[in-house]
A and B are shown apart, each in its own frame.
Chain A
Amino acid sequence: MEVGQIFATILYGTLIGVIYGVATVGLNVIFGVLRIVNVGHGAFIMVGAYTTLVLYGSLGVPPPITIAASILLGAVLGLITYYLVIKHLVDAPELATLIATFAIGILLQETVKAIYGSDTRGFSWNLGFAEVLNVNIVYSRLAAALLGLLLLIALYALIYRTKLGLAMRAVVQDKEGAMVVGINVDRIYALSYTLGIMITVASGSVLAIYLQSGIHPYMGEIYTLKGFVIAVMGGLGSIIGAFVAGVLFGLFENASYLILSQIEGIQPLVLTRSIAFLLLLTILLLKPTGLFRR
């Protein structure tokens, strides 16, 4: 191992980690407020990735601007799925929401597949790079992580600095308390769910800008899994927790890849994926409420 390899691992581990954080918070917001686990989470990320692919690829819209389009699309999808499905299941048994969100995910995948086919696609948005310690620092990846960070900061500000955010936190802390002060809890549910979907679809755009490849209708599944690992690490329901856990997970994943790739005769990429499962199991066994929960 050389210094350059280690530097690359830390740099790209952190950058993808920030994006993992953004790609997880939606799960946290929805679980935190509605107590619903969105099993279709990854499909919304995939939709965001396609939004950027299509808008940039066919129409030439600059990738950062496609994030705004994803936010809008997320709002539309969030409101539709909330009022058609989720609203009726908020108080239903957990299994009902698991199946429903799973079904929404499949519906999104198959719709995208019907329109764009199942080929794996990509695009090229080249901003150049700098070379440090023999490592190429790719500017588009740096931009993707920065845009992701901006999204996280905006979400944080909304939840901790606005009246809507205060009402959301009130509902999280005591639903009946929220009712007796006159908060329209149904409305907060609708807004929180939609907000969660908006940031998730947006994170798909950010992810696409980072990867620029590997975009296909089923690409979201791995992010559902990673999202669960990160959300559980950070404590389901916590934004800062999701962010920190996302960065840690990115670093952990890249470091495992680096170490595994030193061993001959194995496939480091495949093994790195199973490491996510192992991590999830370990955390659930040792600290099921998350690493950063008081």
Chain B
Amino acid sequence: MTKQLLVVENLEAGYGEMQVLWGISLSVAERGISAVLGPNGAGKTTLLRAVAGIIRPWSGRITFSGEDVTLSPPHVKVGKGLVLVPEGRHLFPELSVEENLLLGAYTKLGRYNLEESLDLVYSVFPRLKERREQRAGTLSGGEQQMLAIGRALMARPTLLMLDEPSQGLAPKIAIEILDILQRLRGEWGLSILLVEQNIVKSLEIADYAYVIEQGRVVLEGEPEELSKKGDLIKAYLGI
């Protein structure tokens, strides 16, 4: 069996009194890509925020590289290489492209590899290099998404969690970004936990997928299996 990098067991979380996640279990293999699919409001973003430590899990367990990180604060997780590209990007709009990237390398690991990471990010996203002096808030949607991913790569992640990286993008750019992710898995040995609306494309690059609905995993399996159950997925996702 392949080694699991991230293991989430029976995770429960929510906001205030409202429970959103009702015992989610999933994992990401080393050098693997796991996809999480589900309708709007299913709790996908809440799941990633809980794993990243932005919201505090109510119960359950999160193990990363064999270490229990359930209640670790977000900056500690980033320091260990567990990095989130959040929904809505959350860039620093008043800062330049390059300042955003430099902040991406805020942790010890990032600082140590700063020059090399910057070269790598610029080679993956040449458009960012052209616009390095520009304020992040003035970038186009696609460029902002590249910057959000580039900023996350600056932290030298071993596991990259992406929350709808192709949201609001032209299909062509969306596919370009998913291709780049697949390339990084090969080149960097990166593992990926991907939340995506683009079901067909994400099933194509993922090696395991979960369908969640109302905070529970309702279906999981390898993409080929899930594709066979195409009707079932459609029923769950309401498409």
Contact = CB atoms under 8 A, between A and B. Distances in A.
Contacts of B110: 182
Given A166-B99, A170-B103, A181 B155 contact: yes
Nearest to B85: A180
20 contacts: A166-B103, A169-B95, A170-B92, A170-B95, A173-B93, A173-B94, A174-B91, A176-B54, A177-B89, A178-B103, A179-B53, A179-B54, A180-B78, A180-B86, A181-B106, A182-B74, A182-B78, A184-B73, A184-B75, A185-B75
A183 interface: yes
A182 B154 CA distance: 11
Nearest to A173: B92
A167 B106 contact: yes
A180 B84 CA distance: 6
Interface string B71-111: 00111001100011110011111110001001110110010
Given A170-B95, A173-B95, A177-B92, A182 B79 contact: yes
Contacts of A183: 75, 103, 106
Given A174-B90, A174-B91, A180 B152 contact: yes
Give the interface SS of chain A, mostly helix, strand, loop or mixed. Answer: helix
Contacts of B90: 174, 176-177, 180
A185 B76 CA distance: 11
A236 to B, nearest CB: 16
B151 interface: yes
Interface string A170-198: 10011011111111111000000000000
Nearest to A182: B78
A180 B161 CA distance: 11
A186 to B, nearest CB: 8
B92 A182 contact: no
Nearest to B74: A179
A166 B102 CA distance: 10
Q: Which of B75, B79, B102 has its CB near the most chain A CB atoms (within 10 A)?
A: B75
Interface of B: 52-54, 73-75, 78-79, 83-86, 89-95, 99, 102-104, 106-107, 110, 151-152, 154-155
A223 B53 CA distance: 41
Contacts of B152: 180
A47 B141 CA distance: 50
A173 B91 CA distance: 8
Q: Which 3 A-B pairs have the closest CB atoms?
A: A182-B78, A177-B90, A182-B107
Given A180-B84, A181-B151, A183-B75, 16 more contacts: A166-B95, A166-B99, A166-B102, A167-B103, A173-B93, A173-B95, A174-B92, A174-B93, A180-B83, A181-B78, A181-B103, A181-B104, A182-B106, A182-B110, A183-B106, A186-B73
Contacts of A177: 86, 89-92
B92 A169 contact: yes
B154 to A, nearest CB: 8
Contacts of B106: 167, 181-183
Interface in A131-183: 166-167, 169-170, 173-174, 176-183
A227 B111 CA distance: 39
A177 to B, nearest CB: 4
Contacts of B75: 179, 182-185
A182 B95 contact: no
Nearest to B104: A181
A174 B104 CA distance: 13
A176 B74 CA distance: 10
Contacts of B93: 173-174
A186 B74 CA distance: 11
Contacts of A182: 74-75, 78-79, 106-107, 110, 155
B47 to A, nearest CB: 15
Contact of B74 (A166, A167, A169, A180): A180
A167 B111 CA distance: 14
B54 A180 contact: yes
A183 B79 CA distance: 10
Q: Which of A167, A174, A181 has its CB near the most chain B CB atoms (within 10 A)?
A: A181
A85 to B, nearest CB: 21
A173 B95 CA distance: 9
A186 B53 CA distance: 13
B83 to A, nearest CB: 7
Nearest to B102: A166
A51 to B, nearest CB: 35
A169 to B, nearest CB: 7
Q: Which of B74, B79, B94, B110 has its CB near the most chain A CB atoms (within 10 A)?
A: B74
Contacts of B85: 180
A184 B79 CA distance: 11
A294 to B, nearest CB: 10
Contacts of A176: 54, 86, 90
B42 to A, nearest CB: 20
A173 B86 CA distance: 15
